Structure 1
Amino acid sequence: MTGSEFEKAVRSLARAIWDAEPGAGAPTYVDGLERDCIIETADVTYYIECTTQRTLEKLKSDSGKMISFKTREERRNRLVKLIFVTLEEPTADQVQYGKERSIAVLSLAELGKRLLDAGQYLNLRVNHPFGSATDPKTDSNQTWTLNYEPVAIRPNNSTIDSLSVKNVAQELTNKRIICLLGDFGMGKSLTLKEVFGDLRTSYFKGNIEYCPVLLNLREHWGQDDAYEALERHARRVGMSSPQQLIRAFNAGRLILMLDGFDEIASVAWEAGSSIRLRELRKAAVALVRAFVVESRNKCGIIIAGRAHYFDSHDELRESMGLRRDDLFLSLGEFSEPEAQRFLERIGYSAPLPAWLPRRPLLLAKLAADGTLNLLLANTDVEPARAWDLLINAVCDRESRIHRSHLDPQAIRRILELLASTARTKPDGFGPLTEDEVAEAFREIVHAYPDDKTRPLLQRLPGLSARNAQTGDRSFIDDQILDALRAGHVIEHVISPYANNLKAHLWKHGLGPLGASLAGTRLSHDIQPTQFIIAAREAAIRWNAPTLAADVLLTFPHAHPALDELNCDGLKINAADVDTLDFSDTPIPTNWELTEATVGTLVLGDSQPQGVKVTGCLIQQVIGCSTEYDLPPWVEGCYITNFDTQQQTNASIVADPSIPGPLRVLLTILRKLYLQKGSGRQERALSRGLDPSLRTFVSNVLEIVDRHRLAFPVRLSGITVWQPLAGRRSRVSAILTSGTSSTDSAVREVMTIQ
């Protein structure tokens, strides 16, 4: 720190400590002598001199003019406090010399403590929860038996591969505004905890002058004032003087860390009102926006949350007051090497199954409770079937461990009921209160939990502590959650006239994994007409449009050999649909979806017969790049994102500059990875290709399998290709680079004649 920077920091602190007006304490001349900083309050005048030197001579030189100023002011009946501030810790002789002359000799850090007792805050803060970050083994946010490093932090739109925790901490020290994005279970809260820990250590070592302050935004529902939030946070952690945080913030002495912008308020969509939805989301993050505005050019700030809370990156920036040149970071799944290194650190060295997501929280939890030992490594299994077997194995294990007299099927049914209850929650994962967990137990077992069963309910597999103080739980991973959600869809298809699922309250649709699992379980005994009956009963009798859509989208997985499903004019209004896929058979025909929320709409190579999608809010469309390319059966919809990340399949196929075999590889990889789903039938991978390109498909698929970019499984006599967990970053690089890719699979494909 230069001398001028040091003096500026001292004046800023002095103004904040004594609530002076902006600009007060500027250098001035009194009696012909320059004075570094004079702050006048109603009762006291504070006179400060500053030095970066560690010599007694400087204090001796300045003490004379300081004492003469004090004598002059006391003749005017003004009380004067003399303060001599050093950049580093003052020497013993400086302190003694000042004490003899009533001059307080302080370091910059000691002066800062008059504004904020940072040591008190930092020691109190480590005993307060860090968002959803809990030890995977104990569910505790206080004691950590499993310390693991966060997943790689990847900058958006940057040539830099990844940043470390220290890199992020340094950016915050440089007053950077950062937005950290990641899906559930990617380790956002843990990453902030690690960054906080790094900054805390640096502060105590004297390497930085800024105190990190980390707020859990879920504790600030309904607040939109940054100063009120800081005061509430200070009271929550137990600070004796909560106002200190506000004064330190005004002085630019903090680094702000805000965890969970997607948890600060619940936002429910009103059918047909996408503009209103954006307004509600913007209002919900008013507190975040206030912090960003107040922090810019004053202190570093990092805000973390789920990217999919907003419909687009533009909406995210506008709602939270961010700029394009702010730093946007993402947490994704582990790459294969990252996953292996992570697991080796916690004692698991066997290769992971191909279908298992490489998410930090999921892997940590499975490793901590021994579930990874139940998995068959090196076995390529259809994901839905694998999850079904895994859930059964885990429930069997829990039944034996807890000796609760609950059979494994009862434990699974409790989890399935809780998964459906989570569908009524704003984020779909929870929180699930202790009363809701106990009620699920009572509904399945027909008795209230006793002393033998309560330990099991506290440690139900797939759930983790969300709030240690209230006992709320939350599902740890969307794959587990989706697989469990399939249970009640299966139940409804089998018995559509006896619905007691409260499905009219569901706000979240079944995902591709859940649809695949439900379809697989229903494939042998349920006829196609039963699905139409079940969907119609859900939509009309039970007023449960999301369940109706679930049933409809489950059918293709139950009868994959059919070419189409005739829905006989079924109308579904205001459903929540995760993925609406028209790229694979059997294709639903003769039905209408209106005023629904749709996560992803996948357009096929041909138009589905008698289908209408009208007035819907669609987050992403795969298969066309602009609204002008939409088919006529998609009408009056608000669409946030089109297929513009890479070329669409149609444009790749039509591009003569790309060699034929490579065009086939790119279209296959897009179908498997860019479209969220549980796999693609092999015959669908040829659809949309002209005859000259179809001749390359079998050779390209052999290379895809050999290079572990996907793997085939047989389902009901049909070959289905599955994407591999941990390969998305590699596939994304191939799709982005195209002909310039140096990937070994691309090089081999280019040799096909």
Structure 2
Amino acid sequence: MLIEPDISVQQVLMRFPGLTTGHANEERAFIEASIFEAAQAGSLTEIIEALATKSEEYMRSDGIQKLMRLFCKTRNAITALTAELVIATLKQQERVGLLSVALQQAMLNEQSAVGNLPADLLICGSLQPDRLLRKEVKAIALRGASIPHLEITAELTGGRKLTFEDCIFDELDLSFNSDSIGSVSFHRCRVQRLSCAQDVANCIRDVGLEPGDVEETSVIDATNADIMEMSIPAQLKVLKIILRKLFQQKGSGRRRGAFYRGIHGIDPDIVDRCLTALLKSGIAYVVGAQHSDDAVWHPNRAHARRVAFLVDTLSIPDDAVVQEIL
């Protein structure tokens, strides 16, 4: 398990229908990772609210300290699903402004400054940085975090400096151009899979990543920022970004939430229309319920040549998928 439950609730958890015994030592584990991720979102929201109070007395209370201890010793930072649920809760409560305050406090708090908690909050903010991260947050520093996936976009780096020290990334997407290279720096970090544009790859040492720090690099022709600057309809911009994530970035599929990042200022409903069109055309297939946040989308490599044309073309192509979304 990613978080060891308090001894007082272990008997209840043993009877929880979402748990199963699948280990040699009969240790209980979640049947679906999404069950854990959804439960984790509620606890993280509580921590955000607590940190945002800036009250040392409240932070020292027994309930908050239990949560803080749990989140300060997780093996990995949160997934996109957990982040999406946290943001959905904050939006529903009209309290999205708390995230920036909580992130700043987490970086200052001696208990949480090193570890995954600040990374958890950054992952939340990376979903919609222009709305979720205040402009006064000029510097974000993470230390000793283990991050499953992070996409650093031009919107996330805009007007702020991101520093990572002694961090481990399973997947790192640098979705910005080389002119933003000075906004990010890495120190003694390890990256399993790195995706970036060629101009960024050419100067990757300038951000502090040496060849030995990255196990696998995927060089792509264009970043999300490049696509967003094109003089084409918003629907085609979104389609290009989705196809780029599906076909050009390494990995075993993309959760639905990944397609909503990097589309600054565009109606998310367009993402839904594009995904539906790709599914209908057979260019992509989905494991799980189509509209579920936990659904994993995969590319149909039989359409690789067609997709390459759709991503690279500078004009509006005469393609059935494009006609479907326009």
TM-score by length of 2: 0.65
Per the alignment, residue 748 of structure 1 pairs with: 320
Using a 3 Å threshold, how does the CA distance of structure 1 residues 671 and 535 change in structure 2: closer, same or farther?
A: farther
> Aligned equivalents of 2:8 and 2:280: distance in 1?
41
> Aligned equivalents of 2:152 and 2:191: distance in 1?
15
**Structure 1 position 621 matched with structure 2 position 190:** no
Per the alignment, residue 174 of structure 2 pairs with: 603
Q: Residue 467 of structure 1: SS of its match in structure 2?
A: coil
**Structure 1 position 500 matched with structure 2 position 66:** yes
**Aligned 8 A contact 1:466 1:472 in 2:** yes
> Aligned equivalents of 2:111 and 2:271: distance in 1?
48
Q: How far did 1:581 drift?
A: 1.5
Using a 3 Å threshold, how does the CA distance of structure 1 residues 738 and 576 change in structure 2: closer, same or farther?
A: same
2:303 aligns with one of 734, 741, 745: 734
Amino acid aligned to 1:483: A
2:263 aligns with one of 684, 702, 712: 684
Per the alignment, residue 582 of structure 1 pairs with: 152
Q: How far did 1:670 drift?
A: 2.0
Q: How far did 1:638 drift?
A: 0.6
> Aligned equivalents of 2:245 and 2:323: distance in 1?
23
> Aligned equivalents of 1:699 and 1:567: distance in 2?
30
Q: How far did 1:601 drift?
A: 1.4
Q: How far did 1:513 drift?
A: 1.0
> Aligned equivalents of 2:26 and 2:293: distance in 1?
37
Amino acid aligned to 1:462: G
The RMSD of aligned alpha carbons is: 4.5
**Aligned 8 A contact 2:104 2:137 in 1:** no
1:594 aligns with one of 145, 165, 170: 165
1:399-548 equivalences under 5 Å are: 419-421=2-4, 439-441=7-9, 449=11, 457-467=13-23, 470-496=25-51, 497-498=59-60, 499-501=65-67, 502=69, 503-523=71-91, 524-528=94-98, 529-538=100-109, 540-548=110-118
**Aligned 8 A contact 1:672 1:679 in 2:** no
**Aligned 8 A contact 2:259 2:271 in 1:** no
**Aligned 8 A contact 1:493 1:531 in 2:** yes
> Aligned equivalents of 2:299 and 2:138: distance in 1?
42
> Aligned equivalents of 2:258 and 2:185: distance in 1?
25
> Aligned equivalents of 2:154 and 2:89: distance in 1?
20
Per the alignment, residue 670 of structure 1 pairs with: 244
Amino acid aligned to 2:66: N
Per the alignment, residue 446 of structure 1 pairs with: none
**Aligned 8 A contact 1:567 1:591 in 2:** no
Residue ranges of structure 2 left out of the alignment (5+ in a row): 52-58, 228-232, 282-290, 311-316
> Aligned equivalents of 1:584 and 1:479: distance in 2?
29
Number of matched pairs: 275
> Aligned equivalents of 2:304 and 2:165: distance in 1?
34
Using a 3 Å threshold, how does the CA distance of structure 1 residues 476 and 662 change in structure 2: closer, same or farther?
A: same
Q: How far did 1:458 drift?
A: 3.4
Amino acid aligned to 2:3: S
> Aligned equivalents of 1:531 and 1:633: distance in 2?
26
Per the alignment, residue 48 of structure 1 pairs with: none
Can you list the C-alpha shifts for 1:325-380, whole angstroms capped at 9, x where unaligned? xxxxxxxxxxxxxxxxxxxxxxxxxxxxxxxxxxxxxxxxxxxxxxxxxxxxxxxx
1:317-336 equivalences under 5 Å are: none
> Aligned equivalents of 2:72 and 2:132: distance in 1?
30
Amino acid aligned to 2:147: V
> Aligned equivalents of 1:736 and 1:495: distance in 2?
51
Q: How far did 1:681 drift?
A: 4.2
> Aligned equivalents of 1:495 and 1:563: distance in 2?
18
Can you list the C-alpha shifts for 1:126-181, whole angstroms capped at 9, x where unaligned? xxxxxxxxxxxxxxxxxxxxxxxxxxxxxxxxxxxxxxxxxxxxxxxxxxxxxxxx
Q: How far did 1:532 drift?
A: 2.9
Q: How far did 1:566 drift?
A: 4.5
Amino acid aligned to 1:642: T
TM-score by length of 1: 0.31
Using a 3 Å threshold, how does the CA distance of structure 1 residues 586 and 571 change in structure 2: closer, same or farther?
A: closer
Q: How far did 1:556 drift?
A: 4.3
Per the alignment, residue 380 of structure 1 pairs with: none
Per the alignment, residue 285 of structure 2 pairs with: none
> Aligned equivalents of 1:700 and 1:553: distance in 2?
20
**Structure 1 position 649 matched with structure 2 position 232:** no
> Aligned equivalents of 1:517 and 1:699: distance in 2?
20
**Aligned 8 A contact 1:709 1:723 in 2:** no
**Aligned 8 A contact 1:531 1:555 in 2:** no
> Aligned equivalents of 2:23 and 2:294: distance in 1?
33
**Aligned 8 A contact 2:21 2:28 in 1:** yes
1:70-149 equivalences under 5 Å are: none
1:549 aligns with one of 119, 130, 142: 119
> Aligned equivalents of 1:570 and 1:723: distance in 2?
28
The structure that has the greater radius of gyration is 1
Per the alignment, residue 83 of structure 1 pairs with: none
